[in-house]
């Protein structure tokens, strides 16, 4: 959470005072208005507000009619929800390497394609845009769907197009840790009307009873309930108004740090597939060895500045995804995708060595939309001192 305050409080007060907290009570209500505004912001025809980024990913896959027997390629570095979403629809996640940009490696994606592959989920991790030109080319070549996981990249872009609008569908998250937030929430985006209708049914199995005037293009099936409520949507409408200022401030902070550290020889910057479209929530410092990365973090700690490495982020690294690696895909064997797939898959903690290396050699510096120039100068000075210190033995 970067910025929240009185405007959000007033929006919540307005909804509570209205007594209309259920999204279907008013077609000019908060959720409908947020969905229209988000579609315009991202550049798509349809948005469905949902309860989380995980729900958004699941609804995207349902929209694409992905299910048992299918495989979905996901990156080795992402929140585990990216891999759980295929399991939720009966498909199996196939884990691909990330490269030094810390986004999915297109070359490994192509290596992981089988006759059962139906979709690729590139993740714009930490707001870093994936290499969407390469991913879309692979998808077209092999007739695969693309679901953009933009849960950590609200408002980011790639070559002038908003993240989430490039693939067949996109998923966003608005939980506490995201660029804009309502505490917990998400959104599905697409410009395909059939994908939208299937995702809409799945997000709310009772939507036809509440929206009888909205005709469906697809057969009505048994969905779930991931409905957004008016209180959270009211918060999001205010947060959306803050988005561009937050991104501008984050990008200015990251530019300053990169400009000041550009001549350092102890590290390089993790490559960025589109620097202008990068959400700039994080600056990645890439070292030539794990030893040097760890030594640098120790030197920073000595100066009272705690920095972390993505290899230590636990839930975001594939080797920590216990339900995936142990192939416990559901609470019941009859719903477990690993037991339904015609061809067994195998996982191991060391199956993506390039990813583990890139993650372990990277040190993250968090950016801030409110860091003062004086604080930025102090941080840069501390980084330079740590980088110049001899390696601890």
**Residue boundaries of the structural domains of the chain:** 6-240
Count CB-CB contacts under 10 A for residue 70: 20
Phi/psi for 75 (5° steps) reads -80, 160
Structure tokens belonging to residue 69: 């027997």
Structure tokens belonging to residue 17: 């005072």
pTM for the whole thing? 0.96
How much is the average pLDDT of 156-163? 98
pLDDT tens digits along 31-51: 999 999 999 999 999 999 999
> What is the pLDDT, as a whole number, of residue 216?
83
115 Rama sector, left if φ>0, alpha if ψ -120 to 50, beta otherwise: alpha
Which has the closest alpha carbon to 310: 372, 380, 358? 358
> What is the pLDDT, as a whole number, of residue 63?
98
Which has the closest alpha carbon to 182: 250, 219, 229? 229
The sign of the dihedral angle between the CA atoms of 153, 155, 156, 160 is positive
Please state, in angstroms and rounded to a whole number, the distance separating the CA atoms of residues 235 and 4: 9
Has residue 383 got a pLDDT over 90?
A: yes
How much is the average pLDDT of 158-186? 98
Has residue 292 got a pLDDT over 60?
A: yes
Instruction: Classify 6-240 by CATH class.
Output: alpha beta
Count CB-CB contacts under 10 A for residue 45: 12
How much is the average pLDDT of 128-156? 98
> What is the pLDDT, as a whole number, of residue 213?
55
Alpha-carbon Rg for the chain, nearest whole angstrom, is: 21
Confirm if 123 and 130 have CB atoms less than 8 A apart: yes
pLDDT tens digits along 185-234: 999 999 999 999 999 999 999 988 887 657 788 999 999 999 999 999 99
**Pairing of β 145-149 and β 117-120:** parallel
- CA 259 vs. chain centroid, Å, equals 27
Please state, in angstroms and rounded to a whole number, the distance separating the CA atoms of residues 231 and 22: 9
pLDDT tens digits along 18-29: 999 999 987 789
Average confidence score pLDDT of the chain: 96
Please state, in angstroms and rounded to a whole number, the distance separating the CA atoms of residues 281 and 367: 5
**Pairing of β 362-366 and β 282-286:** antiparallel
Please state, in angstroms and rounded to a whole number, the distance separating the CA atoms of residues 85 and 92: 9
How much is the average pLDDT of 315-326? 97
pLDDT tens digits along 105-114: 999 999 999 9
How much is the average pLDDT of 333-354? 95
> What is the pLDDT, as a whole number, of residue 208?
84
> What is the pLDDT, as a whole number, of residue 28?
83
Element (H, E) at 112: helix 106-112
Element (H, E) at 239: helix 230-261
Local structure of 252: helix, strand or coil = helix
């Amino acid at each position: 959470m970067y910025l929240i305050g009185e405007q959000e409080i007033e929006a919540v007060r307005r909804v509570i005072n209205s007594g209309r907290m259920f999204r279907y009570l008013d077609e000019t209500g908060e959720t409908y208005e947020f969905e229209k505004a988000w579609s315009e912001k991202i550049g798509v025809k349809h948005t469905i507000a949902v309860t989380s980024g995980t729900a958004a990913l699941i609804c995207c896959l349902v929209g694409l009619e992905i299910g048992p027997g299918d495989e979905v390629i996901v990156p080795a570095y992402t929140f585990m929800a990216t891999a759980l979403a295929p399991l939720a629809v009966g498909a199996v996640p196939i884990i691909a390497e990330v490269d030094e940009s810390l986004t999915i490696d297109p070359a490994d994606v192509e290596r992981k394609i089988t006759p059962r592959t139906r979709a690729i989920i590139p993740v714009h991790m930490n707001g870093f845009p994936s290499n969407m030109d390469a991913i879309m080319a692979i998808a077209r070549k092999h007739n695969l769907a693309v679901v953009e996981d933009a849960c950590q990249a609200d408002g980011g872009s790639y070559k002038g197009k908003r993240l989430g609008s490039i693939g067949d569908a996109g998923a966003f998250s608005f939980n506490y840790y995201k660029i804009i937030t309502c505490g917990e929430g998400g959104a599905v985006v697409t410009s395909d009307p059939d994908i939208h209708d299937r995702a809409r049914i799945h997000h709310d199995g009772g939507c036809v009873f509440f929206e009888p005037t909205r005709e469906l293009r697809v057969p009505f099936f048994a969905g779930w309930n991931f409905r957004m409520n008016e209180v959270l949507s009211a918060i999001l409408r205010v947060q959306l108004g803050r988005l561009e200022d937050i991104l501008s401030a984050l990008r200015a902070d990251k530019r300053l740090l990169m400009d000041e550290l550009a001549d350092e020889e102890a590290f390089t910057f993790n490559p960025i597939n589109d620097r202008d479209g990068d959400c700039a929530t994080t600056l990645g410092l890439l070292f030539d060895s794990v030893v040097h990365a760890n030594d640098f973090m120790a030197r920073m700690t000595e100066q009272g500045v705690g920095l972390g490495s993505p290899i230590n982020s636990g839930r975001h690294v594939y080797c920590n995804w216990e339900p995936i690696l142990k192939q416990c895909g559901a609470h019941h064997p009859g719903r477990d995708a690993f037991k339904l797939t015609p061809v067994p898959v195998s996982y191991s903690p060391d199956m993506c060595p390039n990813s583990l290396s890139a993650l372990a050699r990277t040190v993250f510096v968090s950016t801030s939309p409110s860091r003062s120039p004086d604080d930025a100068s102090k941080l840069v000075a501390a980084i330079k001192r740590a980088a110049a210190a001899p390696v601890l033995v």
